[in-house]
Amino acid sequence: MMATKAKRRFGQNFLQDPQIIDQIVACIQPNPEQSLIEIGPGRGALTKPLATLRSDLIVIELDRDLIPKLQAFLPATATVRQGDVLDFDFAEIPGDLWIVGNLPYNISTPLLFRLFALGQRIKSMIFMLQKEVVNRLAAVPNHKDYGRLTVMAQYHCHIEKLLDVPPTAFDPAPKVDSAVVSLQPHQRPNIEADDLSILSELLTAAFGQRRKTLKNSLANLISASALEDLGINPSARAETLSVADFVRCANVVSRNRL
């Protein structure tokens, strides 16, 4: 049977390397009370071994042409949902969630922010992403990759890069390197934000113009004296602050708005 041709409009790059697939599957160990969900199953290279782990696997696929091919080999107890995962209602799925997938590059960042919003319902996420995105997720302060995505991801999750994946592992081969990353949600953040929307607003302002000092980029949100009270240098730039620093700043902004 001829393999389904990748569609550029869906950002499709189908994983095909058996060794990479085996390494990913070895990291996936949901318990019986957790729903296992695969995002973007494509031709089913990862789906087939996942279905042996859990016959009640749930897959979400945008491409209608791939649905019959997936249904042909999945057990009757599996669920195939057609649609855009950015519009998917995860509230429909019972129990805690274990989510895996080879994410299209064009939706990875907005999808991650949407999944972070689900909070404690998610017990684990293991994703194939563009390596650049994984580097941003795992970045440390004072690094060029450190930014808004880093802080929000690390606020919600423990991040661990599991393995690098070359373009040759896919059909067609993308023009960028990929990596597999584990995101394990914290049971509780080390320091809790009073209002996540304000934390997001603060990060957008802080990293919107990275070369600005904090006293300039955050002038409309928090004063230089308030930063000093937190032990933060107002003349520093955003990339020098820790996740906890940003949360403490956001909490000051939250309390000032009460």
Average pLDDT, the chain: 92
CATH number of 196-256: 1.10.8.100
What's the CATH number for 8-185?
Answer: 3.40.50.150
User: What pLDDT sits at residue 106?
Assistant: 81
> Percent of the chain at pLDDT above 90?
79
Q: How far apart are CA 62 and CA 83, in angstroms?
A: 5
* Residue 161, both tokens: 């890069």
Where do you find CATH 1.10.8.100 in the chain? 196-256
Residue extent(s) of CATH 3.40.50.150 domains in the chain = 8-185
- Strands 170-171 and 14-15 turn out to be antiparallel
Q: What is the pLDDT of residue 8?
A: 54
Residue 258: what pLDDT? 76
- The tokens for 213 are 């000092």
Mean pLDDT of 125-150: 96
Question: CA-to-CA distance for 242 and 23, rounded, in angstroms?
Answer: 32
Is residue 184 within 8 Å of 162, Cβ to Cβ?
Answer: no
- Reported as a single tens digit per residue, the pLDDT across 212-253 is 999 999 999 999 999 999 999 999 999 999 999 999 999 999
The separation between CA 89 and the C-alpha centre of its own chain, rounded to angstroms, equals: 17
Terminal alpha carbon distance of the chain: 63
Assign 171 a pLDDT band (cuts: 50, 70, 90).
Answer: confident
What are the pLDDT digits (tens) for 6-23?
A: 445 545 577 889 999 999
